[in-house]
Amino acid sequence: GESVGLHLPTLSVQEGDNSIINCAYSNSASDYFIWYKQESGKGPQFIIDIRSNMDKRQGQRVTVLLNKTVKHLSLQIAATQPGDSAVYFCAENVIGSYGKLTFGQGTILTVHP
Amino acid sequence: EPEVTQTPSHQVTQMGQEVILRCVPISNHLYFYWYRQILGQKVEFLVSFYNNEISEKSEIFDDQFSVERPDGSNFTLKIRSTKLEDSAMYFCASSGGLANYGYTFGSGTRLTVV
Return per-residue pLDDT of chain B as tens, 114 residues.
Answer: 789 999 999 999 999 999 999 999 999 899 999 999 998 888 999 999 999 999 999 999 999 999 999 888 899 999 999 999 999 999 999 998 766 778 899 999 999 999
A37 within 8 A of A88, measured Cβ to Cβ: yes
Please check whether residue B95 touches A, CB under 8 A: yes
A104-108, A109-113, B5-9: the lowest-pLDDT one: A104-108
Do the beta carbons of residue B44 and residue B50 sit within 8 Å?
Answer: no
pLDDT, tens digit (0-9, with 9 covering 90-100), for A2-29: 445 434 489 999 999 999 999 998 788 9
Closest CA to B18 of B60, B76, B105, B72: B76
CATH code of domain B18-96: 2.60.40.10
A32, B48: Cβ pair inside 8 Å? no
- Nearest-Cα distance to chain B for A104, in Å, is 6
Element (DSSP H or E) covering residue A2:
none
CATH node for A4-112 = 2.60.40.10
Query: Can you give the length of chain A in residues?
Result: 113
CB A34 within 8 A of CB B103: yes
Domain coordinates in residue numbering, chain B = 18-96
Chain A residues whose CB is inside 8 A of the B54 CB are none
